[in-house]
Amino acid sequence: LTLQGAIPVDSTTAADSRQQARWVAVHESKQRGLSERTIATMLGISRNTVSKYASAISPPISRFGSLAH
């Protein structure tokens, strides 16, 4: 049973997985010496997001994660 307009639990998990995958991709690309502009173009995300992920020590976690449990 799904309530209309409700956010399914799986969507939060999928969003977290995408963010973590992007974080990994950014860090791997930076280690290979690619510029943030090139990484942004390759991943289809903004340069600001690339910069944020590159400076983050760990992958991002959804701030709404507690709602899913």
pLDDT digits (tens, 9 = 90+) for 5-64: 555 555 567 888 889 999 999 999 999 999 999 999 999 999 999 999 999 999 887 666
Query: What per-residue confidence (pLDDT) applies to 4?
Result: 59
Helices (H), the chain: 9-31, 36-43, 47-55
pLDDT at 66 over 70: no
Q: Side chain identity at 40, as an amino acid letter?
A: A
pTM equals 0.71
Query: What per-residue confidence (pLDDT) applies to 55?
Result: 96
Residue 7: partners with Cβ closer than 8 Å, 6 or more residues away:
67
Query: What per-residue confidence (pLDDT) applies to 26?
Result: 97
